[in-house]
Structure 1
Amino acid sequence: MKKTAKFTTLALAAMMLTGLAGCAASADAATKPVANLDAGTPASEIRIGYFANVTHAPALVGLQEGIFAKDIDAKITTQVFNAGPAAIEALSAGAIDAAFIGPNPSINSYIQSAGRSVRIVAGATTGGAALVVKSDITKPEELKGKTLTTPQLGNTQDVALRSWLKGKGFQTDTTGGGDVHITPTDNAQTLALFQQGKIDGAWLPEPWVSRLVEDAGAKVLVDEADLWKNGAFPTTVLLVNADFLAKHPQTVKQLVKGDVDAITWLNDNTAKAASAINEKLKADAGKGLSDAVLNRSLEHVTFSADPQAQTFQELVQHGLDAGTQKRGSIDGLFDLRLLNQILKADGQKTVSAAGLGEQ
C-alpha cells in the first residue's frame, strides 16, 4: 500500500537557522557510528520519502518496477515531497524513516542536530540542475534587480543559487531582498509564473529545467555541472534516520540494495527507463512529461550509488555563503558500510566517505 502526503513548512526559515526540534545532542554523540550492523532487528515497515523529479529516478523506478518490493521484506510506505527541507522536517518528526533527498538539507539536519539526526547511506543521482532565465538575459550582470525562484528555502538548488550569486558579487537574503530577489516557490508554480512573465528565472533540478526550456522558452544561463570538477556533483542521496539505522540495519541494508538495483536497472535499461519514470510521475503528480522534456532531462543526469562525499565540504561552504545554515562539523555524516558490502558482493567498485564517516 502506498500513502502519499505533502508537508508544509510555515516556520522553515526559523527552523533552519535555530535548529530542528527534538534533535539536540551532545557533540560527543555526534560522530559515533552504529557499533554493530549485524545487531538490531528487521523493521516491519519502512517509510520512504522522495520527490516526483527525474533526479529521483532510482526511487521512482525502484517503486514502479517492483525492485524495492523484491529487495525489502518490510511493508513500504511512501510520501512525496516538493523539496528537501520539507522532507527533513518529516524525517526529524519521525513521519518517515528514509528519504531520497539533496545534499544540503542533509548537511543542515546533521549540523543542527550535532550529528544525531541522520546518516547518508548511499548516493542516487549526480547532475541535473541549472539556472534557467528569460531569453534576453545573456550574462550574470544582468540579473541585478531580477526575481528568481528555487524549490524551497535551504534546498540544494536554493543554496547553489545563493552561493553562486554571492560569488558574482550579488547580495541576497532569506526574505527575498538584496540585489537579486529569490522567492522559493513550488516547482509547478514556478513554471506557471515563468510562462506568465512574473519571474525572470529559476535554479531547478530536472525535469523542471527541461520543462522551462522546452515548454516555456527559457534558456540555460548556468549548468551546475560546469561549476564542479569533472561535472560531478550530488543531486540526490539516500538519507536515513540515525535511530532507525541503529535499530534496523538489516532493513536499511535492504533499502540500500534496492537503491543499487534500481540504479543498475536504469543504467542497463536505457530504452525502458523513460517510460518507467513517466509512469511513476503520472501516478505521483497526475501528469507525465513530454518525450522532449523527459529525453532532455535524462541527458543531464547520471545515476550512481556514489554519493560524491568529496564534494560535501564545499557544499558546507555553499550553505554558509547562502546564509541558510550554521557552522558545524559534518564528520560522521556518512555511513557507507552497508553500501560497500553490497557493491563488493555484486563485484562493483566500492565508494569513499572522503574521511567524513564510515565506509
Structure 2
Amino acid sequence: MKKLLLVMAFVTLSLVLAACGSSEESASSDGSKEITIGYFPNINHVAGMVAEEKKLYAETLPDGTKVNYKYFPGGAAFMTAIETGEIEGGLVGPGPAMNHFISGAKINIVAAGSTGGTVIMARKGANIEAPKGLKDKTFISPHVGCTHDVQFETMMKEEFGITSERIDGSMKHVTGKPATYHSMFVAGNVDAATVPEPWASVIEAKGSGEVLVDTADVAYGETLPAAVFVTSQDLVKNNPDMVQSIVDAHKKATEFIKDNPEEAKTIAIDKIKDITDQKLSKSVIDNAWERIDFTYEVNGDVLQDFANSSYELEFLKEKPDLEGLVDTSFVE
C-alpha cells in the first residue's frame, strides 16, 4: 500500500512540475531551453524564412536556446498549435488569428509580417472578363473564412452584390492549398481563385489563369496585414523578455528583407522548394514581390474593420471586439 502511495505521489508531482513549465519555453532532453516558431510557405511569410535561414533567433534569445521550426498549410492548424503550446509563436494570416481570439483564444498579435499579396485570378477559358462574371461560378480559397476568402467575398458583396452559396448567394466555394491552384485551373475544377503570392504569379507564368483583380483593388488589399506575428497571452504575461527576444529577431528579419531583397528572394525560393517541393523561378518571385510590402508595424484599427467585414459575411456569429488582441509594445 505504501509503495502504491509513493508511486501515486511521484506521478502527481511530475504532472505538477510539467504544468508549471507549460507557460514558458520547453526544455529539450539535454536540459537546454527550446522553442518552436511556425509559418507558411507563402511570400507573405518571408520574414519567417529569413529568420530561420540566417539564424536570427540565436542572436536575440538567451545562449543555448534551441529553435525549431514548423510549417503549416493553413491558419486553423497554426492557431491550434499556438493554443496547445506546440509552438511559441509565428506568422499566420490575420483572419484565423482574429477568429480564434473572438472565440476565446488567449492570444496576442505582437507584430505584422507583411501587407498585400492577395490576387483574384480567373481560369483561362472560364469566360470571366470582370468580377461580375463570377455569378454562378466556383471559386477556391485556402480555407472558409480565411484572410483571402474574406477579402474576396467583401469585395464581391460590397462592389457587385454577389455572395456565395454559404449566405444564399450564387457563387460556389471550395477550399484547397494555394500550391495546387494551377493544377485545379488546368483540370477545370474551379473558375476563379483568391490567391496569396507567390501562387498567383505561378498561375500567371504558367498561363492557366489571368489576373481578374490585382492586390490594390481587392478589399483591404494594401492596408491589411497579410501576415501577423502571434503568440500566447500566457507567454506575454509570464515571459515578456522571451517575447521581446522573439519579436526582435522578427524585426531583424524584416529589416534584412528590405536591405537585401535579392538575397531574401533566393532564401524564399529555396525554402518554398524545401517545404512544398515546388521550385519557383526568379521571375515568379520578382513578380510576386511587387505586390507585397514587408513591415512589422501593425494597425489595430484596420484589423477591427476587417473583423467587422467578416461578421457582415456571417463568418462570425457575434459582432467582434478585438480589444486586447493587438499588443504593440514589443515593436515600439
3-state SS of paired residue (2:71): strand
Following superposition of structure 1 onto structure 2, how do residues 262-273 of structure 1 map, counting pairs within 5 Å? 262-273=253-264
Q: What is the CA distance between 1:41 and its match in structure 2?
A: 7.1
Q: What is the CA distance between 1:86 and its match in structure 2?
A: 2.2
Q: Report the equivalent of 1:20.
A: none
CA separation of 1:229 and 1:184: change in aligned 2, threshold 3 A: closer
Task: Give the letter for the 2:39 counterpart.
Answer: Y
2-side partners of 1:173 and 1:243: how far apart? 39
Pair 1:126 & 2:118 matched = no
Residue by residue over 1:66-89, the C-alpha shift from the partner in whole angstroms, topping out at 9 and shown as x without a partner, is 222322333212211112122112
1-side partners of 2:288 and 2:221: how far apart? 19
Deviates more, 1:312-321 or 1:297-306: 312-321
3-state SS of paired residue (2:279): coil
> TM-score with structure 2 length normalisation?
0.84
2-side partners of 1:171 and 1:308: how far apart? 28
Q: What is the CA distance between 1:125 and its match in structure 2?
A: 0.5
List runs of 5+ in structure 1 lacking aligned partners.
Answer: 1-39, 341-359
3-state SS of paired residue (1:334): coil
Deviates more, 1:218-227 or 1:96-105: 218-227
2:76 equivalent among 77, 85, 96: 85
Residue by residue over 1:294-328, the C-alpha shift from the partner in whole angstroms, topping out at 9 and shown as x without a partner, is 11111111111112323112101221133222323
Q: Report the equivalent of 2:280.
A: 289
Following superposition of structure 1 onto structure 2, how do residues 1-359 of structure 1 map, counting pairs within 5 Å? 44-73=33-62, 74-113=65-104, 117-135=106-124, 136-167=127-158, 168-174=160-166, 178-227=169-218, 231-326=222-317, 327-340=319-332
Q: What is the CA distance between 1:102 and its match in structure 2?
A: 0.9
* 1:148/1:183 contact within 8 Å kept: yes
CA separation of 1:282 and 1:226: change in aligned 2, threshold 3 A: same
Please tell me the root mean square deviation across aligned C-alpha atoms, in Å: 2.1
* 2:185/2:208 contact within 8 Å kept: no
Q: What is the CA distance between 1:293 and its match in structure 2?
A: 1.1
* 1:126/1:301 contact within 8 Å kept: yes
Q: What is the CA distance between 1:51 and its match in structure 2?
A: 0.1
List runs of 5+ in structure 2 lacking aligned partners.
Answer: 1-22, 27-32
3-state SS of paired residue (2:297): coil
1-side partners of 2:207 and 2:321: how far apart? 41
3-state SS of paired residue (2:111): strand
Q: What is the CA distance between 1:291 and its match in structure 2?
A: 1.5
2-side partners of 1:258 and 1:279: how far apart? 20
Residue by residue over 1:228-278, the C-alpha shift from the partner in whole angstroms, topping out at 9 and shown as x without a partner, is 689322101101111122222111111101110001101001221211111
3-state SS of paired residue (2:184): helix
2-side partners of 1:228 and 1:147: how far apart? 19
Deviates more, 1:271-280 or 1:201-210: 271-280
Task: Give the letter for the 2:163 counterpart.
Answer: Q
> Which has the greater radius of gyration?
2
> TM-score with structure 1 length normalisation?
0.78
* 1:61/1:280 contact within 8 Å kept: no
Deviates more, 1:42-51 or 1:263-272: 42-51
2-side partners of 1:173 and 1:96: how far apart? 35
1-side partners of 2:217 and 2:283: how far apart? 23
Name the count of aligned residue pairs. Answer: 298
3-state SS of paired residue (1:231): coil
Task: Give the letter for the 2:185 counterpart.
Answer: F
Q: What is the CA distance between 1:134 and its match in structure 2?
A: 2.4
2-side partners of 1:95 and 1:323: how far apart? 30
* 2:308/2:320 contact within 8 Å kept: no
